[in-house]
Amino acid sequence: MMKKKYRIGLVGFAHMHVLDQIKPFLTMPERVEWIGAADVKPMVESEYFESSSRSMNLKLCQEQCGFTDVFEDYQQLLELKPDLVLVNCENAYHGTVIPEILMRGIHVIVEKPLAYSTEHAMAIARASRIGKADCIINWPTTWQASIRLGQKLVSEGVIGKVYRFQFRNPDSLGPFSYGQVMTDRQLGKEWWHQEAAGGGSMLDYCCYGTILSNWYLGEKPLGVYGLKANFNHRFGDAEDYASLMVRYPEAVSILEGTWNTVSSGYDSGPIVWGEKGALIVENGGDHGIHANVSVYHDRYSTTPNEVYSSDDYPLPAGRSNLAEEVFHHLETGEPLHATMDLNNNLWSAAMLDAGLRSSRSLKMEEVKTSCWTIG
């Protein structure tokens, strides 16, 4: 039987992850028709146009996907009635751009995190319900087999009742620290370093910990202590270090996001502690393959009692990348992976919102606030 061919558009090129988003779709040319693209006007015009810039992201996508139409306004792209739109605009624009697409009955894939605030997340959820279209959140960690294996082992009780979860991003010196040569003026004009645009290390990196801790712990968060600081990137007003301490009914999580780490010195995790021991997840290479999950049961021991290889627990056949997972969901109606599900990501967005509020109030802020209107 001939499988459906999806008409796909691209909106927003602020996030360089768009280049990774398109890769799995490019491996399935018989199932994809790229119909065009449009960027979203930035709050501050860029003065940098090389590697990882929005203009270069657009150029590379156009070369690899082969679309010819690049529209000034994304509304023009939506008039072509795509089946699916990949959204990679600034975090602060998710709450306005995504609802407009969903209300037209067009499915959306958005790069993490879902939204800049709980209010924006709720707007997306309402639009998804009204437009009867899916909003699917892509997390690079979803495609790491070692992280999935770690959650499986925790859920099976290998370390007993869990009381603490920890995660921090791997080594990073910021989004433009991979060979780019930029002045402080150029860096300051990039949205990553602008708080109003949703920049900063909290939304960039602490976000991973929010979705993962909820998934691993299997609980809904209650409150968050948040801290932000700008140590080395003072050409912008967004933080380059952030941490969240999250209170759950029966556990806590400690989440860090930093653009100031030359070398972590140890695995970034997740690391999970329970009544029967500890579990440490290695990040590994591409897709978390060739990575171990180590379990420690003996007191004071630095040698794991059990070591599980992610090579023995591959991602499921036919659902091993973003394109496969999305097509499988749309065609079978089976649930998406838990980390990609919209309702689960509402909690992630609300945790980040609480962390941002806490960084200003200097007290614990509740996760579920009065603007929560879904579920």
Question: Residue 286 above 70 pLDDT?
Answer: no
Domain presence at residue 370: no
**What's the token pair of residue 135?**
């909003």
Tell me the CA distances in angstroms from 254 to 127, 140, 238, one per residue in order: 32, 20, 21
What is the tally of structural domains in the chain? Answer: 2
Cβ atoms < 10 Å from Cβ of 277: 19
Q: How many CB atoms lie within 10 A of CB 112?
A: 23
| In a domain? residue 343 | no
CA-CA distance, 202 to 257, in Å (whole number)? 6
**Ranges 45-59, 219-233, 361-375: which has the least confidence:** 361-375
Residue 167 contacts by C-beta under 8 Å, 6 or more apart in sequence? 208, 209, 212, 213, 253, 254, 255, 256, 268, 269, 270, 271
In the β-sheet with 84-87, what is the strand arrangement from edge to edge?
Answer: 70-71, 32-38, 6-11, 84-87, 107-111, 135-138
Residues 118 and 24 in one domain: yes
- Asked whether the predicted pLDDT for residue 290 surpasses 90, the reply is no
Same domain flag for 277 and 210: yes
* Confidence band, pLDDT 50/70/90 cuts, at residue 371: confident
Angle between helices 207-217 and 145-155 (to 10 degrees): 30
Q: Would you tell me how many other CB atoms lie within 10 Å of the CB of residue 152? A: 13
Which pLDDT score is estimated for 285?
54
Arithmetic mean of pLDDT, 291-301: 95
Question: At 288, is the secondary structure helix, strand, or coil?
Answer: helix
CATH of the domain at 27: 3.40.50.720
CB atoms within 10 A of CB 320: 15
**Mean pLDDT within 275-303:** 86
* Cα–Cα distance, 240 to 231 (Å, whole number): 7
Q: What token pair was written down for 164?
A: 């603490």
Residue 77: helix, strand or coil by DSSP? helix
Tell me, yes or no, whether 336 lies in a domain: no
Is 136 inside any structural domain? yes
- Averaged pLDDT, 337-341: 98
Does residue 169 share a domain with residue 256?
yes
Residue 61: which pLDDT band, with cuts at 50, 70 and 90? very high
Indicate the residue among 84, 117, 140 that finishes a domain.
140
Same domain, 13 and 98: yes
Task: Match 């879902």 to its residue by tokens.
Answer: 114
pLDDT at 375: 60
Tokens for 154?
Answer: 């925790």
Q: Which residues contact 29 (CB under 8 A, 6 or more apart)?
A: none
Reported confidence tier of residue 373, pLDDT bands at 50, 70, 90: confident
CA distance 208 to 189: 25
Kindly report the pTM of this predicted structure: 0.96
The span from the CA of 349 to the CA of 371, in Å, is: 13
Higher pLDDT, 282 or 24: 24
List phi, psi (to 5°) of 197.
-85, 0
Residue ending a domain, choose from 117, 140, 163: 140
Distance CA 212, CA 367 (A): 16
Q: Looking at residues 68-73, what average pLDDT do you find? A: 96
Measured distance CA(42)–CA(45) in Å, rounded? 6
Residues 92 and 234 in one domain: no
Considering the domain architecture, whether residues 182 and 227 belong to the same structural domain is answered as yes
Same domain, 128 and 226: no
- What is the extent of the structural domain holding 32? 6-140
Mean pLDDT of 100-122: 97
**Whether residues 277 and 356 fall in one domain:** yes
**Do 41 and 180 sit in the same domain of this protein?**
no
Q: What is the mean pLDDT of the chain?
A: 95
Tell me the three-class secondary structure of 341-357, residue by residue: CHHHHHHHHHHHHHHHH
pLDDT at 46 over 60: yes
Separation in Å, CA 17 to CA 53, 86, 111, 337, 372? 11, 11, 7, 19, 29
Would 314 be classed as within a structural domain? yes
Tell me, yes or no, whether 313 lies in a domain: yes
* 147 and 120, same domain (yes or no): no
Averaged pLDDT for residues 61-77: 97
Mean pLDDT within 33-45: 97
284 has a pLDDT exceeding 70:
no
% the chain with pLDDT above 70: 98
Angle value at C-alpha 342, between 337 and 343, nearest 5 degrees? 100
CATH code, domain carrying 295 = 3.30.360.10
Quick one: 235 and 104 in the same domain?
Answer: no
